[in-house]
Amino acid sequence: MAAVDVRSMVIVGGGLNGLATLFHGLRLGATRPLLLERFQVGHDRASSHGPSRIARSTYPHVGYVRLMRATFAEEWPRLERAAEEPLLFRSSGVFFGPPNGPIDAYAKAVADAGVEVDRLDLRTARAMFPMLRFGECDFALHDRTAALIASARVLRALERVSRAGGAEIQSGTRVLAIDPTHDPIRIETDRGEIFAERVVVTAGPWMSELAPALAPRLFVARQNLAYFELEGSREEFRVGRFPVFARIGAGENDFYYGLPEFDHPGVKVARHVTTARDDDPETPSGTFDEDALEDLRAFAIREFVPAVRGLAGADTCMYTCTATEDFVLAPHPANPRLVFGSACSGHAFKFGPMIGRILAELALWGDCRLPEYQALRTEFSWVGPPSPADCAFQPRGVV
Ligand SMILES: Cc1cc2nc3c(=O)[nH]c(=O)nc-3n(C[C@H](O)[C@H](O)[C@H](O)COP(=O)(O)OP(=O)(O)OC[C@H]3O[C@@H](n4cnc5c(N)ncnc54)[C@H](O)[C@@H]3O)c2cc1C
């Protein structure tokens, strides 16, 4: 009988977090790690595609502010060194919202963590960011750590560096089931069986299929985003001139954000929609909600000083949310060599290189001693507080 090939490490899902785990798995000594991806790296049906994302320290929860500080200090530079290209483009960040709303929690958390975020009065904010109106606000937070992440370039860099380091990426392979009770762990795919010493599952919107026990904690919410051409010279809207920003209101899903023009025509605008819903990730991408696009246009007209000339593009993208907007980064309770990473809720790209490190350390070393992870470990656990029943109805909203 032929000997069974047992892989040292298998990662399921080739979005940002799976690729970042592969990168760190190699760095930590996994030999010939294998990543299985149902489609191909960079496809547009999950959460990681598109040209740009926001990185910022401005969070309402001090634990995330500190996790971001560590990610900025250690992991983005490590990845940029390995990739030999810039992936973060420094860009002023400005975050604002109506008085006595959630923006106050952001102001408190950044002050508690002592990060480089300044509180600006409205006159100063309007002088520094003349593109924005800051309607109904008393103050704005100027985040001097903020950046635009060249997200599509990040995926390509992780793929390139990992392959060069000896990792194998197998596209067009769908994992159907994982048996944590089998030793080595048995992975059933649509192209046959694979055995592995360690497995990390980063399946994005399909996570509940592979981890039914997580299903009560996760829901999938399709997002719509738009790119608008604004009146004026395009130079004004490029990274370094135009800020990354968010307007954080008090109502349901009242969180809109935007980014400069980058690797795609037009300024990007989107709304962060995290009410519990159950969108089907099998619905093809590009199925736009026309009402959502109209809502984004109305926001752009209301908040931008330059007139909106027209739509330069639109896209859809999936969030995989927990009701508290915390991540799940945790070993399976019955087998610590099987680790799950659902780091989305629409805000994990900025942490991606750190999430990869945490997941790789959990899988390969059995723990991650990073203090910033340890501080958030309860929130990141398999079931996690509050209970799933509470989660469904009492969003805490770390974003
Ligand atoms: C519109 C939008 C805007 C965002 N903006 C920001 C931002 O500004 N800042 C920020 O920090 N974050 C942002 N995010 C969040 C960030 O993009 C996500 O947190 C991150 O991309 C999640 O990556 P992932 O690898 O966990 O999941 P995914 O990208 O969803 O990857 C999962 C992968 O697993 C594969 N897969 C699934 N099931 C299987 C299977 N059975 N077998 C094999 N492969 C499988 C899928 O094909 C997919 O490629 C945004 C997200 C969206 C959607």
| 201 shares its domain with 333 | yes
Please compute Rg for the chain using Cα positions.
21
Cβ contacts of 100-108, under 8 Å, gap ≥ 24? 100/250, 101/248, 101/249, 101/250, 102/60, 102/248, 102/249, 102/250, 102/397, 103/137, 103/139, 103/141, 103/248, 105/60, 105/61, 106/58, 106/59, 106/60, 106/141, 106/248, 107/139, 107/141, 108/60
Do 236 and 263 fall into the same domain? yes
Q: pLDDT tens, 43-57?
A: 999 999 999 999 999
Domain contains 79: no
Query: Residue 78 falls within a domain, yes or no?
Result: no
Among 320, 339, 370, residue at a domain's last position:
320
Same structural domain, 136 and 236: yes
Closest CA to 341 of 220, 222, 214: 214
Q: Convert the pLDDT of each residue in 74-85 to its tens digit.
A: 999 999 999 999
- Is 37's C-beta closer than 6 angstroms to any atom of ligand 1? yes
User: Do the domain assignments include residue 138?
Assistant: yes
User: Do 138 and 244 lie in a common domain?
Assistant: yes
Task: Tell whether 211 and 341 lie within a shared domain.
Answer: yes
- Taking the C-alpha atoms of residue 139 and residue 119, their distance in angstroms, rounded to an integer, is 7
- Top mutation candidate among 53, 239, 345 for ligand 1, by most atoms within 8 Å of CB: 53
Residue 212 within any structural domain of the chain: yes
The number of domains in the chain is 2
- Separation between Cα atoms, residue 123 and residue 23, nearest integer Å: 45
| Among 320, 350, 371, residue at a domain's last position | 320
Of the candidates 378, 397, 48, 8, the one whose C-alpha atom is nearest the C-alpha of residue 194 is 8
Residue nearest ligand 1's atom 4 by CA: 346
Select from 89, 271, 349 the residue to mutate for testing ligand 1; criterion: most ligand atoms less than 8 Å from CB: 349
Q: Does a structural domain hold residue 336? A: yes
User: What does pTM read for this prediction?
Assistant: 0.96
359 with 330, same domain: the answer is yes
Region 20-40: mean pLDDT is 98
Angle among Cα 28, 34, 38 to the nearest 5 degrees reads: 135
Domain extent, residue 357, equals 6-49+152-217+324-393
Q: Is 228 exposed, middle or buried (0-12, 13-18, 19+ CB in 10 A)?
A: buried
Domain endpoint, select from 258, 286, 320: 320
- Write the pLDDT tens digit of every residue in 215-262: 988 999 999 999 999 999 999 999 999 999 999 999 889 999 999 999
Q: Is 203 in the pocket of ligand 1 (CB under 6 A)?
A: yes
For residue 168, how far is its CA from the centre of ligand 1 (angstroms)? 20
Is 338 found in the same domain as 306? no
